[in-house]
Chains A and B, each alone.
Chain A
C-alpha cells in the first residue's frame, strides 16, 4: 500500500476516532504521537488517548456533535507537536528461537528467503523501543525491526499462541504477555511477567522503554 503523505482521521463507530500519522513507520513520528496523546488525553470530550503504531485512537466520553471541530483541533495540535523523546528503562529478554517455540518460523523462512540463524540474529540486533501497548494486557508493540524480516499476518488467525511468544506481523514485532489468539507469525518464546493488575501501573513496560532480545537458543 502507498505511504500516506497527509495525516488521516477516520471513525470507529460513535465510540472513538483514529488519527494516523503520515510517512514511514518510525520513531520520530511515534514520539510526536506520544506527545499528541498527552495533550488530547486532557481534552474534555476525550476519555482515553491510546497510542498505536504511528497512530492514535481517541475514545469519546460522549460522542461529540461537532466532529469537525475536534478533527481540526487534532490536526492543528499534530502540526504543532514536537517529538517527545521518552527515555525509559532497558529490559533484556532471552529468547529461544524456532522448534516448538516458533511454530511459524518456517513461514517466515519461506517468505523472507533467510535461514533460521540469520532470522534470529537480525531479530536480536536492534534495541527495540516500546512504541505502544495494546492487543492484550501488558502487550508491547515494538518499533525498529529489520525490514528484511517483514512477513504478512497470517491468512487465518491462530486460535491460541503461548504466553511469551515472540512474533512478527507485517513490519512489526512483539512479545505476547499471555496465551490467546493471534494473527502474527510466532518465531520464538521468552519468559517474563508483563502484567499485574494489582500494581500501579499494572503494565511492567510503558512507551519509551527499550527491549533488548538475546538469543538463548536456536532450534533448527
Chain B
C-alpha cells in the first residue's frame, strides 16, 4: 500500500489499455509509454497486463505504508528512496514508512511507478486504466489526489531479486533526425488531399509540442498543413497516433485518451511502435517525423518486441543467478 503525499495533478492508474469496447464509444486509454510500463512489469516479474501509476507532473512523492517491491521507469527523474538515489529504470525493495520522491525529469516527460503484482484496482470492461471522460476505471475513474491510498497485488518483501535495472528504450531503440527525437509516420486516407508544399514541409520541418498537449492529444506547432480544398469527412473510428488536421492547419496527434472516432482530415498515423517516443516528448520540446511504409511499421513493432523479449530473458537469468 502506498499513500500519495504530493498535491501533484494528473497522475493516473494505467495498464496496456482497454480493448474491445470501441463499439460502445470507449477509447483504449492505457500508458502513454507502453515500453516503460512493460519494462517496469518485467523488472518486478508482474504479468503483462499489470497496472502502474503514470506520473506526468513533478515533484511527486509517495510513502510506502507497508513493505513493497517497486520499479520506477519512463522519464529519468532523479528518484530517491528515503534520500538514497535510485537510477532510472530500476527495481527496488521499499520498507514500511519509506518515502519515494520523483524530481523534475532530466529526460522524458512521464514516469511510471510500478508495484509488485501491479496496482490493485478493479478491472472495468477488461482494463484497470483510468477512463477520465467516462469517469470509470483506475482509482474511482479520476486522477490521483493527495491522501489517496493505493494497494499492490503482491506487497511484502519480494522473493525475486531487486536492486538492478535495464537500459532504457531511448538508449536501446534510438531514433533521431537532425538532433531531434523522431517518430515514423504512415500516410493516412487524406494525405494526398493536402498541398504538395505542405506535405513536404511536414516531413522537413520541426514540430513544437505545445502546452495544449496531454493524454488526449498532442497539439503541434509548425508550418500549417493546408488542404487542396476544404474537406468535411464522415465520422469514423480512429486510433491513438492518428494525425488530424483541423481547419487551422496545425496538427493534433491523437494519444491514448483520444476519442475512438473523429472526422477531421487525417494526414497520417504515428506508428504504434513509436507512439511511446511522443508520449515522452516534453511540452515545449521539438520533434520530427519520418515517412514509413506498412512493412516498416510492422518491423518496428517487432524490434520493440525483440527488445522486451531480450530484457525478459536477461531478467529471468538474473533471477536464476540470484537464487
Contact = CB atoms under 8 A, between A and B. Distances in A.
Interface of A: 1, 8, 10-16, 18, 20, 25, 47-57, 59, 63, 65, 67, 132-139, 141, 152-153, 155-157, 169-172, 177-178, 180-181, 183, 195, 197, 201-203
B264 A183 contact: yes
B234 A153 contact: no
B246 A14 contact: no
A137 to B, nearest CB: 4
Q: Interface majority SS on B: helix, strand, loop or mixed?
A: loop
B168 interface: no
A2 to B, nearest CB: 10
Interface stretch (B16-24, B46-54, B281-289): B16-24
Contacts of A8: 189
A177 B25 contact: yes
B235 A53 contact: yes
Contacts of A137: 24-26, 131, 133-134, 136
Interface of B: 19-27, 124-125, 131, 133-137, 186, 188-189, 216, 229-242, 246-248, 259-264, 266, 269-273, 294, 297-298, 301
A206 B262 CA distance: 18
B264 A197 contact: no
A202 B261 CA distance: 18
A113 B131 CA distance: 40
Given A59-B22, A133-B25, A203-B25, A10 B263 contact: no
A178 B273 CA distance: 31
A13 B20 contact: no
A126 to B, nearest CB: 18
A15 B235 contact: no
A133 to B, nearest CB: 4
3 interchain residue pairs of minimum CB distance: A57-B237, A134-B261, A13-B269
25 contacts: A10-B189, A10-B266, A13-B269, A14-B294, A20-B189, A20-B236, A48-B23, A52-B237, A54-B234, A55-B234, A63-B297, A63-B301, A132-B261, A135-B235, A136-B259, A138-B25, A153-B247, A155-B246, A170-B233, A177-B25, A178-B133, A195-B25, A197-B124, A197-B136, A202-B21
B235 A52 contact: yes
A37 B235 CA distance: 16
Nearest to A140: B25
Nearest to A25: B234
Contacts of B247: 153, 155-156
Contact of A12 (B21, B232, B239, B264): B239
Contacts of B242: 12-13
Contact of A141 (B125, B235, B269): B235
Contacts of B301: 14, 63
A78 B125 CA distance: 30
Contact of A15 (B20, B239, B262): B239
Nearest to A170: B232
A63 B298 contact: yes
B212 to A, nearest CB: 9
A13 B241 contact: yes
B246 A183 contact: yes
A202 B232 contact: no
A10 B188 contact: yes
Given A53-B234, A63-B297, A15 B241 contact: yes
A8 B261 CA distance: 18
B272 A13 contact: yes
Given A13-B186, A50-B260, A197-B136, A169 B235 contact: yes
A15 B242 CA distance: 10
A130 to B, nearest CB: 11
Contact of B273 (A14, A135, A157, A171): A14
Nearest to A134: B261
